[in-house]
Amino acid sequence: MYKLILASQSPRRKDLLKKAGIKFIVLPSNISETPDKNLNLEEQILKIALDKALACLEQNNYLKYQDNLVLSADTMVIVDGVCFGKPENKVEATSYLKLLSGRGHQVKTALCLLNCKTFEHVQEITTTDVFFRQLSDSEIESYVDSGEPMDKAGGYGIQGLGGTFIASYKGPFDNVVGLSMESLDRLLNSTGWKIESE
């Protein structure tokens, strides 16, 4: 039985794991989330997720050779082949939302599970297609002023006020939140690694 280590400060990811009854501890890793432009979009997202898991292990050396699994994730919003992470300021958040208004985009989340005992890792990427209704400038402005967009890929949270902007979506909802539980289950089942539950 493995202890799950969540290498993320995201309150959304914590909530999803708690709701699933999974026991875990939070040890966020600090890395640059700048995508490697030499890789294609999916490879970029997978690499950031893996880098987060490896950084968590390096920053918490005592995890090594123990029955621990590090779970890391990276979420990106993709429009016209361009990746959007978390906006750096209100101006960027506003430009993201204007770009998303009245059209579709993809949300891709890469998950990585790193075994601290064997140093093996498995990864998977999940895609959800999301369609925004047309947004007015005043809606965008008041949403940005709420502060909600600032720590979210693409500048919106589907589980918060940003959910009112969604006309429809196709694919896992929790993937847009930041962690596909189906994807996590598949990774665990494919490896046979068992994790502690509450």
Segment 72-81, tens digit of pLDDT: 999 999 998 8
Segment 39-44 mean pLDDT: 90
Percent of the chain's residues with pLDDT above 70: 100
Reply yes or no on whether the pLDDT at 182 is more than 80. Answer: yes
Reply yes or no on whether the pLDDT at 36 is more than 90. Answer: no
Q: Are 68 and 119 spatial neighbours (Cβ–Cβ below 8 Å)?
A: no
Does residue 45 lie within any of the structural domains?
Answer: yes
Reply yes or no on whether the pLDDT at 33 is more than 80. Answer: no
Percent of the chain's residues with pLDDT above 90: 87
Does residue 197 lie within any of the structural domains?
Answer: no
What is the identity of the amino acid at 121? H
How many whole angstroms from its chain centre is CA 32?
Answer: 15
| 24: enclosing H helix or E strand | strand 24-26
Instruction: Establish how many alpha carbons lie within 13 A of residue 145's alpha carbon, considering only the half-sphere containing its beta carbon.
Output: 6
- For tokens 């720590």, the residue is 151
The domain total for the chain is 1
| Alpha carbon distance 65, 67 (integer Å) | 7
Active site residue 15: no
Segment 111-127 mean pLDDT: 97
- 61 vs 68, 70, 195, CA distance in Å? 12, 12, 20
pLDDT of residue 184: 97
* Catalytic annotation, pick one of 36, 67, 74, 145: 74
Residue 6 class from Cβ within 10 Å (0-12 exposed, 13-18 middle, 19+ buried)? Answer: buried
At 42, list the tokens.
């999916």
Put simply, whether the predicted model's pTM sits higher than 0.85 gets the answer yes
Does residue 168 lie within any of the structural domains?
Answer: yes
Does residue 196 lie within any of the structural domains?
Answer: no
| Alpha carbon distance 180, 178 (integer Å) | 7
| Alpha carbon distance 30, 181 (integer Å) | 23
Residue 151 or residue 24, greater confidence: 24
pLDDT of residue 85: 86
Q: Are 141 and 94 spatial neighbours (Cβ–Cβ below 8 Å)?
A: yes
User: What CATH number should be reported for the domain holding residue 55?
Assistant: 3.90.950.10
Does residue 141 lie within any of the structural domains?
Answer: yes
| Domain boundaries, position 184 | 3-191
Does residue 21 lie within any of the structural domains?
Answer: yes
Does residue 65 lie within any of the structural domains?
Answer: yes
